[in-house]
Chains A and B, each alone.
Chain A
Amino acid sequence: MLGANSPFKINIMEAAIAVTELRKTYTPKARKGAEVKALDGITFEVPAGEFFGLLGPNGAGKTTTIGILTTRVRPTDGIARIQGINVADQPVAVKRHIGVVPQMNNLDRSLTAREILTFHAEYFGVPRHEREEHTDQLLKRFELIDRADEKVNGFSGGMVQRLKIARALMHNPAILFLDEPTTGLDPQSRRAMWDLLSELNAKGQTIFLTTHYMEEADQLCRRIAIIDHGKLLALDSPGQLKRSVPGGYLIELQVRSDDGAAEAFAGKLPALAGVVEVKSQNDRIRIYADRAEGLLANAMRLASDYNVMVSDAHVAEPSLENLFLHLTGRSLRD
């Protein structure tokens, strides 16, 4: 018998999402077109309750991955499981467990906002009383109640996005999938969207999100998978990922000194533990380092030894941008 606290319990419990050696090759529709390898063997797992992000530039394979996980794209090879169910074998069973927020506005334009939510729940067999109550709750919570009985043609980008999320939540899915949820939103709506998603995750909702915004992945996700050209390049927490960039930390010092003391000071800095590179320009010194702990203090001590006065110091954490640059040799924004 396994007790509730048995370590085996965790192994037996299925991950919310499990992907093994997933591949997808698009064969060209026109005879002359070239084959496109959208996914080239990616493997990862997402435990229940996690906020998981798939980060990569456009065309990296993010939408294909989400398409396979949500039954809309058939994989060429490999296995994708949702709640332990093989997606390719039992798509209908999988659909019961997932809520999907696609990139495009695919809201039903023949229906009002309220009807979009109630019909969605009806498709999932939610009893009438329950679906009407849930619709009211979500419309209020997502600030759509004033426009509830209008068709969605005149809705703003932020409203469309919120309604798409409300719709995906109507049948209480185990996993919420969002494909680039803040693309095309103004900064204010993006901020509001982040708050909303964090709040959902805090209440236990498993969330799988794709994005090409580093700040978004950094702010929201507990773990991030970085993909490019259909390959998984790195997978870890945002902090760990950033720490993995060599020389990712930047310490910037503003110095004042007499006759050449600053140059002598800068010349000694590379000898400090963790320092990768030092660049000095007039009275400004930039130290690139693998880690920041203790380095600032050591640098300050060294400065006082050389009679150099430090008038300003600034420590910059490494960014995912730097990591992406380091992994692929190009910027995420290209």
Chain B
Amino acid sequence: MTTTFLALLHRDMRVARRELPSFLLRVVLNPLLFTFIFGFVMPRMGIIQRGYTDMLLPGILGLSMTLSSMQAVSLPLVIDFGYSREIEDRLLAPISIAGVALEKIIVGVVQAIIAGIVVLPLAWLLMRVHLSLSSGDAIQFVAVALLSSWLFAAFGMVVGTIVAPQQISLLFTLLLAPMIFFGCAYYPWATLHVIPWFQYSVLINPLVYASEGFRLSLTPQMPHMTPWLIYGGLVGFSIFFTWIGLRNFEKRALE
């Protein structure tokens, strides 16, 4: 069981390593452009206050990590189940179907961590944000990073087991775009109190808890959501999506 699990992980890491250049480009380009315009160009123009970058950095990092783990899980699954059936060889390996599914989630978490390791120093260098470096915050940071990555890997599994290959572009338009814009990545949740109905409706968006979690651990001096709500949201959504994701995966794997 463990041997098989590690072998599956080995296979995915081999493939990921081979695709590293395109993976890095995908992970780095978006936050880089965003940081350049909002963290460098617009503050210079005086359109945006300098302090905005402090709010932006945790959101950009959260966005890079969550989207990486979600993509790492969902896209291969859409192709595997919808068209190529390449995953069948792994489904016939001596491990439970849930074991194969959990391995996919771990792969998503690993890719998110790599994305985080690349994006964090880059964004910090460009924006010169004052980051809190106390040990307590470091533990919070690791906890938030792992929970967010897991949550979105599991979410990726839910999406990957539902969406058909023809619907991938629809997925970006209908799901990802609203999720990113309403995900508090570009503004802190607390500041939404000016539009109360919006502030409460965005709570159904899992990205809000990831963005606020990174804000809590990286820039605690800025306004952020209360910790219990952040962790409650991250853990709650993680459990919910893992449960749905595993159930769907099993349904797609077996007839």
Chain B binding site: helix, strand, loop or mixed by DSSP?
helix
The interface residues of chain A lying within 8 Å CB-to-CB of B193 are none
**Is the Cβ of A100 less than 8 Å from the Cβ of B92?**
yes
B89 touches A108 (CB 8 A): yes
Q: How far is the CB of A115 from chain B (nearest CB, A)?
A: 7
Considering only residues 86-106 of chain A, those with a C-beta below 8 Å from chain B are 91-93, 95-96, 98, 100, 102, 104, 106
Which chain B positions have C-beta within 8 A of A110?
Answer: 15, 18, 86
* Pairwise interchain contact B84-A102, C-beta atoms closer than 8 A: no
Query: CA of A119 to CA of B94 in the docked complex: distance in angstroms?
Result: 13
The residue from B10, B96, B253, B254 contacting A119, defined by CB atoms under 8 A apart = B10
Query: With A and B bound together, what is the CA distance between A26 and B254 in angstroms?
Result: 12
Asked whether A72 and B254 contact (CB < 8 A) given A106-B85, A119-B10, the answer is: yes
A155 at the interface (CB under 8 A from B): no
Taking a contact as CB atoms under 8 Å apart, the answer to whether B85 and A104 are in contact is: yes
Does A74 contact B18, Cβ atoms closer than 8 Å? no
B4, B10, B11, B90: the one within 8 Å of A125 (CB): B4
Chain A residues closer than 8 Å to B253, beta-carbon distance: 72
Q: State whether B86 touches A109 (Cβ < 8 A).
A: yes
Selected contact of A106 from candidates B4, B14, B86, B255, CB within 8 Å: B86
Residues on B with C-beta less than 8 A from A70 are: 92
> Does residue B175 face the partner (Cβ distance < 8 Å to A)?
no
Neighbouring A residues of B11 by C-beta, 8 Å: 108, 111, 119, 122-123
Confirm or deny: B3 has a beta carbon within 8 angstroms of a beta carbon on chain A: yes
Choose from A72, A73, A96, A123 the contact partner of B8 (Cβ within 8 Å): A123
Q: Cβ of A124 and Cβ of B91 under 8 Å apart?
A: no
Count, chain B residues at interface, CB 8 A: 25
B89/A106 in contact, CB under 8 A: yes
Closest CB-CB distance, A68 to chain B, in whole Å?
A: 9
Q: In the assembled complex, which residues on chain A have CB atoms less than 8 Å from the CB atom of B90?
A: 123
By the criterion CB–CB under 8 Å, are B92 and A95 in contact? yes
On chain B, the residues within 8 Å of A119 by CB distance are 7, 10-11, 14
Q: Is the CB of A111 within 8 A of B15?
A: yes
**Contact residues in A for B95 (Cβ distance below 8 Å):** 92, 123
Contacts A92-B96, A95-B94, A119-B7 given: A73-B86 contact, CB under 8 Å? no
Distance in Å: Cβ of A15 to nearest Cβ of chain B: 22
Interface presence of A229 (CB below 8 A): no
How many Å lie between the Cα of A110 and that of B19 in the bound state?
A: 10
Q: Judge whether A120 and B10 touch: CB under 8 Å.
A: no
Q: Assess whether A107 is interfacial by the CB under 8 Å rule.
A: yes
Q: How far is the CB of A160 from chain B (nearest CB, A)?
A: 13
Measured CA separation A95–B10 after assembly (Å): 20
B93 at the interface (CB under 8 A from A): yes
Given the interface pairs A92-B96, A119-B10, A125-B4, the reply to whether A108 lies near B91 with Cβ below 8 Å is: no
Min CB distance B40 to A, Å, is: 38
Which A residues are in CB contact (< 8 Å) with B8?
123
| Contacts known (A95-B92, A110-B18); A124 close to B4, Cβ less than 8 A | yes
A124 contacts across to B, CB distance below 8 A: 4, 93-94
Contacts of B4 in A (CB 8 A): 123-125
A73-B255, A108-B11, A125-B3 given; 19 more Cβ-contact pairs under 8 Å: A71-B92, A72-B88, A74-B254, A74-B255, A92-B95, A95-B94, A98-B92, A100-B92, A102-B88, A107-B86, A109-B86, A110-B18, A110-B86, A119-B14, A122-B11, A123-B90, A123-B95, A124-B93, A125-B94
Between A and B, 24 residue pairs with Cβ closer than 8 Å are A72-B254, A72-B255, A73-B254, A74-B254, A91-B96, A92-B96, A95-B93, A100-B92, A102-B88, A106-B84, A106-B89, A108-B86, A109-B86, A110-B15, A119-B10, A119-B14, A120-B89, A122-B7, A123-B11, A123-B93, A123-B95, A124-B94, A125-B94, A167-B89
Pairs A-B, 8 closest by C-beta atoms: A123-B93, A122-B7, A125-B3, A106-B85, A110-B15, A73-B255, A106-B88, A95-B94
